[in-house]
A and B are shown apart, each in its own frame.
Chain A
């Protein structure tokens, strides 16, 4: 187990290194940030000064090596645009995105799994069919349009919930978060639902398919033949087995929700990382792009590690040390 985790972390370092190299080269190829950052009527001297200040006068390999050197000191560079440390910019917006992603995944799991179970256990019932039809809407409606409609109904027409922004954050045990104030939660509901709809549909369909598959297996019949209550047969024998595919998907989707919440954050003016990265790409703010991607890669690695560990807990046949991940 320990060996497995250590090997995993070493692999992660390589992934991060390769990723930074690609992003460096990629952003370099797209264009010169100086064109965007410096006003048209700046003099040659001002231009040269700015280029030197941003470190853009050196060759690409030199810039990259300098970046790596700073990286080892925990310095991911200073934003070209904001003039603040890039990592700090990203991390400032990280909690907002995490809140959104976490709420969305919680909704997806706590609504998706029970509905999927129901649809899987009673596939021919009206309820089961309705759930499945509903889930088609969930993953086929365009995310931005769905968001706009939510704002229309709940914010504009019914005026139940605010249309955008993050609201006032509450504090609990020294942690500041939207979860701890009603205003924060009310701002969170709509974007979280918007982000969760697609994932919920996915979880419903996956749960249903797994239940349909598992319910006919001998060990479920055997469990029933032992005289167990349906609650135990479903709640333990079936559920523990379908958790294995579910955990994989939920893990992967959690990563993608964090990384790609951009549309929802834009529609609901949610001050998260998604908005920052889009702005940074437009302005070729390389340090921020790189810092953002490093954070995301680390997150993905963590999520995948957690998924693998959960696997071993859920499925005794999996032995982490044997795995060449």
Chain B
């Protein structure tokens, strides 16, 4: 049985201007020790998916439909105290901006020890020892001194390491990482990616890595889900999705990544802009920006699996690698 099984998840935001369907029918499974990359543009619903799993969707947002089964229990509609007990202990989260995730007025030890004590009794000595160990694991030198520091005394990369250490304190089964390397320097980004990968593999932790950067996911994730306008438009093993994308949007994402193109070659662009979440086009939301769109696309395509383990939501999927850059 999968560790996490999400079925037709819909998280909508009921704003005064209208209903924003941030997540609109997302389904996927995740096994223990597996890393799933969720890729998409801003507003595609990838972060909201993460917050939905954590049960941290604030009003006006609400989970309107679907189920999130985590290790056999449905998180949707779970009583808050039960959910709170899972949070941090079995499901942890790492945020995007390390400058903002640690409370500026509290010392690192305060923020780490409270995370431990949220889920059980810890003596001062045992708690400090655990904090030191985990800080050491994530590559923070002289953890003893660092425990007594305030967040502003750390660099961005170090702060993110502290946040990761906090996420690892209880050796959770699942870590949701919401673009944790986006705000960091490339060199630091590489280090942290490497270390997270190692730590997750050691503990057999499952991870959902939310990002807009396909290149990051390519080297990290076992499987990739590409989100567009609240739906997963393509999902498969990383190799499949990156090398043989079916969906024109995925192909466009790959084409617009500088690192994948020969020097001097013009980057392909996805024309147009991501649709406003308030009024999505009917049918396939990518239709207005897609060169392969036809009349048929006015009706929402169902998810199909042209090949096993490789899902796509498109009437006109690309057939393989040769189709890269067909946006011309």
Contact = CB atoms under 8 A, between A and B. Distances in A.
Interface of A: 216-219, 221-229, 232, 236-237, 240-241, 244, 314-317
B103 A227 contact: no
Q: Which 10 pairs from chain A and chain B are nearest by CB?
A: A227-B88, A218-B100, A227-B87, A226-B88, A316-B150, A226-B115, A225-B93, A227-B118, A219-B103, A222-B101
Band of interface residues on B: 20 to 34
Contact of A316 (B86, B89, B97, B152): B152
A166 B210 CA distance: 66
A211 to B, nearest CB: 14
B85 A227 contact: yes
Contacts of A226: 87-88, 92, 114-115, 118, 166
Which residue of A217, A225, A232, A314 has the most chain B CB atoms within 10 A of its CB atom? A225
Contacts of B104: 219, 241, 315-317
A218 B105 contact: no
Given A221-B56, A222-B163, A237-B103, 19 more contacts: A218-B100, A218-B101, A222-B93, A222-B102, A224-B87, A225-B88, A225-B93, A225-B95, A226-B88, A226-B115, A226-B118, A227-B86, A227-B119, A229-B118, A232-B114, A237-B106, A240-B105, A241-B104, A317-B152
Mostly helix, strand, loop or mixed at chain A's interface? helix
Given A228-B114, A316-B152, A317-B152, A223 B103 contact: yes
A314 B115 contact: no
Contacts, number: 78
B209 to A, nearest CB: 16
Interface string B73-110: 00000000000111111001101110011111111000
B68 to A, nearest CB: 16
A219 B56 contact: no
B232 interface: no
Contacts of B150: 316-317
A233 to B, nearest CB: 10
A234 B74 CA distance: 28
A222 B105 contact: no
B151 to A, nearest CB: 9
A229 B103 CA distance: 16
A225 B100 CA distance: 14
Contacts of A244: 105
A141 B110 CA distance: 44
Nearest to B150: A316
A222 B95 contact: yes
Nearest to B93: A225
Interface in B41-64: 54, 56, 58
B100 A227 contact: no
Contacts of A219: 100-104
B95 A228 contact: no
Contacts of A317: 104, 150, 152
Contacts of A315: 104-105
A249 B264 CA distance: 58
Interface string B11-51: 00000000000000000000000000000000000000000
